[in-house]
Amino acid sequence: QVQLVESGGGLVQVGDSLRLSCADSGRTLSSHAMGWFRQAPGKEREFVAAISGTGNTYYADSVKARFTVSRDNAKNTVSLQMNSLKLEDTAIYYCAAGRSYFYSGRSQRDFGSWGQGTQVTVSA
């Protein structure tokens, strides 16, 4: 069973970089597509990025060319490298395991297990 824990959040300034990590203590991460979502105050949770079991990557338009998702199946981790951070990137970031090995979409319904979230705050 997938058990996800995010880390790496914090307070940074506009233009800075931050790297989030998501570890799976259940050691089944390699069997799932993985995704990152975020939820800003007063807003709906939204898709950020995903990586399939084969390594194909998918991004929201708002983060494309700034964020990079990667996975290390040997370490049961997935990461989100965030560069050129903007004020609007401030949110709680959630790691999620897809319902299959292959990417099946960017809806929350396509992901079955979620971490507790990590706060990212970007200040001016």
* Identity at 66, one-letter amino acid code: R
Confidence of residue 7 (pLDDT cuts 50, 70, 90): very high
Confidence of residue 26 (pLDDT cuts 50, 70, 90): confident
The beta-strand segments (E) located in the chain are 4-7, 10-13, 18-24, 34-39, 46-51, 57-59, 67-72, 77-82, 91-98, 111-114, 118-123
pLDDT of residue 2: 82
pLDDT of residue 28: 87
pLDDT of residue 102: 95
Burial bucket for residue 99 (CB in 10 Å: 0-12, 13-18, 19+): middle
**What mean pLDDT, rounded, does the chain reach?**
96
Phi, psi of 64 (to 5 degrees): -60, 135
